[in-house]
Structure 1
Amino acid sequence: MKRIILAAALAALAFHAAAQQWPSKPIRIVVPYPPGGSSDIIARAISQPLSEALKQTVIVENRAGANGNTGTDAVAKSNDGHTLLLCDTGALAITPSVYKQLPFDPSKDLRGVTMLAYSPHLLVVHPSVPANNLQELVALSHKDKLNFAVTAIGSAPHLAGVAVEKATQAEWTYIPYKGGSQAIGDTVAGQTQVLMNGMLATLPMVQSGKLKVLGVSKATRVPLLAKVPTIAEQGVKGFESGTWQGVLVPANTPPAVVNRLATELTRIIRLPEVRERLVSQGAEVYTMTPAEFTAFFERERKNWASVVAAGGVKID
């Protein structure tokens, strides 16, 4: 019995020591999308406070490509113990259903640290589009060609667009991009007419009049757009979707490091100055423990698998 107690005590000390000794060099936060999207905005909001907390330089690295898979694969295969992934975790849960082959398995090669924020999707159009609600947009899609900007094939906004299209019998053509900022840019320029994207990155374009919002993909209306009806209110009963930003690390990361990161990130995202910055752009601070994050990810993976199957979305 004494040996068991001693072994447990030594294990606890080793666990504590691992967390205290880490980090021993600069931290990289990999965002697997171009600059300007929701994940990038949040990564840059937390990088300086995280640097101060860990007493190490924190670098945000945009590593876009293959609909977010390039940067995600790099993190999954990293073994330096100092590389984090900040991405749309809902989109990551969709990936296994969309791609026939992946160089990584998100359920096995990565582990969740914490969720950071949620923002509903906004259904927006270029101001020249003669539609002021979802019903008018659907009717217009039967008469004119509408290009729907996709932040990435198989992303949550893409599948949200597919779900709305199927539910309303709308007709539009999906135009893929490498990330939300590029999809927003082309819709603002009028090269695409319709876009579904996270509120955090899209709201500034709505507030400046460069995009026109037709609906919000939340169960209830959002205070910043109180006059804008939800998509559910406009006939798509029960419809709700959104962008979830969270942090993941390679699966071999020590539990002590995961727990320390979760503690610091949860504290930082709740700081008044960070929270207010995100809330003012339509994002909700939403945190989870590592265990809650894992359960959420598996639920999302199963839920979106049925949407992917119904929409026939597959990438070789």
Structure 2
Amino acid sequence: MSRTALVTGASGLLGRQVLRTFQQDDNWKVTGQGFSRASPPQILKADLTVPAEIEKLLDDVKPQVVVHCAANRFPDKCDADPSLARKINVEATRALVHATASRSILLIYISTDYVFSGVEGEAPYEVSSPTNPPNIYGVTKRDGEAAVLEETSGSGLGVVLRIPVLYGPATTNSDSAVNVLLDAVKKAQDANAGVKMDDWSKRYPTHTEDVARVCRDIAVKYLDERQQAASLPAVLQFSSDVQTTKYKMCELFAELLGVSIPGMVRVTDGGKPGEGVQRPYDTHLSTRSLKDIGISADTQDFRAWW
């Protein structure tokens, strides 16, 4: 008998791929949730900031697992409107996990490496490492984690999955902080463009297909071991181990496209207070806890995919 899943934020970069991965597995029946880009019947429209709409969605779909991808995931937008970021990333998450827990539904909450400070010398971070977010986005995602863990404590009905910056198939390059670098490469072909690009902070770009596979594997693991789920980790982490920077990614894209980028300015002294939203230096995530429960942490090759 097939299992049922619901993917929130199913019209976004990661949500689309999570939905697709579950669809490709004959053992699953999956439905997506969206709002501004909902497309019924595959992606149902529901406002997650309205608890009544969450409850109706769950009662209509009757999922055994919810993968919660929906979020305000852009640090600059979170900084510009902290109250909206908190409404989406914290309050909606709290309402969702309250509704799933009361219905004995497993919730997989997608979090971020930005819950860590990322100061030089601390990485790699284990699941038990102290959190200390450097910006509002990280704070709201950490508080979302807390809501999930508080509501599901001891029940095995909540799992936090921290992930880094993502790349993969996108409807527009702006969907991904990695894909959007292709636009910067195009602009920087003009020698006078003056495109500033960070070559300071360490990044570990991870493919959405790999994250989606991990989400499915977690769902299977925690449902299969439902009676012992409370003894499984409540926090997991997944990331590529290949280190790069935004500038180096731009160099790679330029090489693959066969173009030069004389208009790109390499920035090597980022992270200074007062220079916009603070980004961490290095938030490399350890995948030890994931491997310990038998889930593969393998990732595809960044260069080969592009």
Give me the TM-score of the superposition, normalised by structure 1. 0.29
Higher relative contact order (CA 8 A, sep 6+): 1
Q: Which has the larger radius of gyration?
A: 1
Give me the TM-score of the superposition, normalised by structure 2. 0.29
